[in-house]
């Protein structure tokens, strides 16, 4: 996955302290500007704008189109319970309800945890359980909104839907996250792409994937969203058969209303990824001509080959049910990881490496994935030296023996152990970091590389979450590490930024109820 160093992309190391020291979220707009060629980026003026506290945020209602609400068929869990993990169904004609079952397997709520401050829980992780990425289902002309909590498709019906549009709503995330709303939507889009790819595989549905195009704002209007600037440009998944492409001319969008300047910047980044495809940038980065930003490509497998059976998740239904991000008792926040008094078997890491090694399905995402460096801090796993490892092509190579590295990570985590918050990083057997060099990323892919790398990291982290479930572990995607000090623990370069990380730990028994919502 690591990009080879190219001499024309390297610059002197850059110091990007940001307005809040080494807070990784505050540094993101500076890293983006650095990637485009700015050697001395300044924090945007909206950085210091007062924002409401995140807990006061009320997500907007779903963009429900007019029309009937068609229930999704029951029986998805029964079918997944009949599929042994990790085996996939043999190729063959799909059932008429296969797409509906794949959508249910991907998006529908699985459980509710009354003691958890955040609910509902699906097969993939989402920040604060907000699920900003929505799916619209149609035939390319009429579109219906998938409403997972209601188990319905809402809107003007079509007898044979075969196209899915995935788009993220920035305003579903608290304003206090500012620029990071764009990153969270991009990361979750990658998670959803892998979850949907798996759902389609489990129900025998081939598909193709098409990246956003300049006609994306027009497609958003077709989907029926009221304010296109609230939404990311859609990715399209065509199921079973190709759909004819529709030319939507690029049209100016209405500006983001005053009062949310960081959102205007987020939207500019999302739309700007499409500018200048295949051309040399005035900022000096080059574009990879062999990579198409608009052409469809087959949705390849989400599942690594030759996985071992799992004693924890004998069926695919069990795997999805057991995926979680770490539970705390009595409504407390955070996560806790029990200390491994007995080392975990080597297969715990082998399974994680296998899931991490599956590339995302589109050439754009695969190229971005190749530019990502994956670093793992390992302890308490049989056959593996405690310390910092470099992950590459399904192997973990020791970079530095360091039994203190997990404690160093916990010391630099933004939500440490308190009376109301759990933090089990020091005990976690595996913590994985995904990083990029922005200047090299833009040299490879131009502005499209920024979001593409976030999609690719989301894809990889969802695989890690499923690997953890198969081994009886939890996996929690996080972005709260202090970047400068964490990079010192990991040995990352000064011109390298952390895109995403995930903590995999041994769950403690909380004794709390877990309510089964599966259908």
Q: Tokens for 6?
A: 């190219």
Q: Angle, to 10 degrees, between the axis of helix 24-35 and the axis of helix 180-202?
A: 90
Burial 95-121, CB ≥16 within 10 A → b, else e:
eebbbbbbbbbbbbbbbebebbeeebb
How many H helices and E strands in the chain?
13, 18
Task: Give the dihedral sign, CA 72/186/370/289.
Answer: positive
Enter the DSSP assignment of 127: G
* pLDDT, tens digit (0-9, with 9 covering 90-100), for 398-407: 999 999 999 9
- Per-residue DSSP letters for 275-330? TTTTS--TTS----TTS-SSS-EE---SS-SSPPP-SS-SBHHHHHHH--S---ST
Q: Is 251 exposed, middle or buried (0-12, 13-18, 19+ CB in 10 A)?
A: exposed
Q: What is the mean pLDDT of residues 181-205?
A: 97
Cα(286)–Cα(290) distance, rounded to whole angstroms?
12
Distance CA 147, CA 392 (A): 38
What is the domain class of 24-46+304-516 according to CATH? alpha beta
- Whether the CB-CB separation of 111 and 514 falls below 8 Å is answered with yes
Block residue for tokens 């889009």? 189
- pLDDT in the model for residue 1: 54
Residue ranges per structural domain of the chain: 24-46+304-516, 61-74+90-290
Please check the confidence at residue 324 and state whether its pLDDT lies above 90. yes
pLDDT digit string, tens, across residues 255-267: 899 889 999 999 9
Would you state the torsion angle of the CA atoms of residues 490, 492, 498, 502, taken in this order, to the nearest 10 degrees? -20
| Residue in the structure block whose two tokens are 């998944």 | 237
Average pLDDT, the chain: 90
- CATH number for the domain running over 61-74+90-290: 3.40.109.10
Q: Indicate the angle between helix axes 448-470 and 438-445, nearest 10 degrees.
A: 110
The per-residue pLDDT for 73 is: 95
Q: What was the pLDDT predicted at 279?
A: 38
């Amino acid at each position: 996955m690591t990009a080879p160093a190219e001499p024309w992309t390297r610059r002197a190391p850059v110091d990007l302290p940001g307005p809040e020291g080494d807070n990784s979220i505050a540094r993101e707009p500076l890293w983006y500007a650095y990637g485009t060629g700015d050697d001395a980026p300044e924090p945007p003026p909206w950085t210091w704008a007062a924002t409401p506290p995140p807990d006061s945020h009320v997500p907007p209602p779903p963009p429900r189109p007019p029309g009937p609400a068609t229930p999704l068929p029951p029986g998805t869990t029964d079918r997944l319970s009949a599929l042994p993990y990790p085996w996939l169904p043999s190729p063959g004609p799909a059932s008429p309800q296969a797409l509906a079952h794949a959508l249910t397997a991907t998006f529908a709520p699985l459980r509710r945890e009354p003691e958890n401050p955040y609910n509902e829980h699906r097969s993939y992780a989402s920040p604060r359980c907000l699920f900003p990425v929505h799916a619209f289902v149609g035939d390319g002309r009429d579109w219906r909104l998938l409403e997972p909590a209601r188990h319905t498709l809402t809107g003007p019906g079509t007898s044979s839907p075969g196209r899915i549009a995935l788009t993220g709503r920035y305003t579903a995330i608290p304003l206090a996250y500012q620029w990071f709303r764009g990153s969270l939507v991009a990361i979750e889009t990658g998670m959803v792409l892998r979850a949907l790819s798996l759902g389609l595989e489990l129900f025998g549905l081939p598909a193709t994937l098409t990246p956003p195009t300049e006609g994306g704002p027009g497609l958003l209007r077709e989907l029926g969203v009221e304010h296109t600037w609230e939404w990311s440009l859609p990715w399209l998944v065509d199921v079973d058969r190709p759909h004819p492409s529709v030319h939507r001319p690029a049209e100016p969008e209405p500006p983001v209303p005053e009062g949310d300047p960081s959102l205007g910047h987020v939207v500019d980044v999302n739309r700007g990824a499409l500018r200048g495809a295949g051309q040399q940038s005035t900022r000096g980065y080059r574009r990879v001509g062999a990579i198409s930003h608009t052409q469809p490509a087959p949705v390849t497998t989400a599942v690594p080959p030759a996985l071992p059976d799992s004693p924890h998740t004998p069926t695919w239904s069990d795997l999805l049910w057991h995926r979680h991000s770490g539970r705390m008792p009595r409504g407390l926040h955070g996560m806790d990881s029990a200390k491994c008094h007995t080392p975990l078997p080597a297969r715990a890491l082998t399974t994680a490496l296998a899931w991490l090694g599956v590339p995302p399905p589109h050439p754009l995402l695969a190229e971005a994935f190749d530019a990502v460096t994956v670093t793992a801090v390992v302890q308490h796993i049989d056959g593996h030296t405690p310390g910092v490892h470099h992950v590459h092509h399904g192997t973990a190579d020791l970079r530095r023996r360091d039994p203190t590295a997990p404690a160093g990570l916990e010391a630099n985590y933004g939500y440490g152990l308190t009376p109301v918050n759990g933090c089990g990083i020091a005990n976690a057997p595996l913590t994985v970091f995904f990083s990029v060099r922005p200047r090299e990323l833009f040299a490879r892919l131009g502005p499209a590389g920024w979001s593409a790398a976030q999609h690719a990291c989301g894809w990889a982290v969802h695989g890690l979450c499923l690997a953890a479930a198969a081994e009886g572990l939890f996996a929690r995607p996080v972005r709260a590490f202090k970047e400068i000090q964490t990079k010192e623990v990991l040995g990352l370069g000064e011109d390298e930024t952390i895109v995403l990380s995930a903590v995999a730990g041994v769950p403690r028994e909380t004794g709390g109820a877990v309510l089964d919502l599966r259908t």
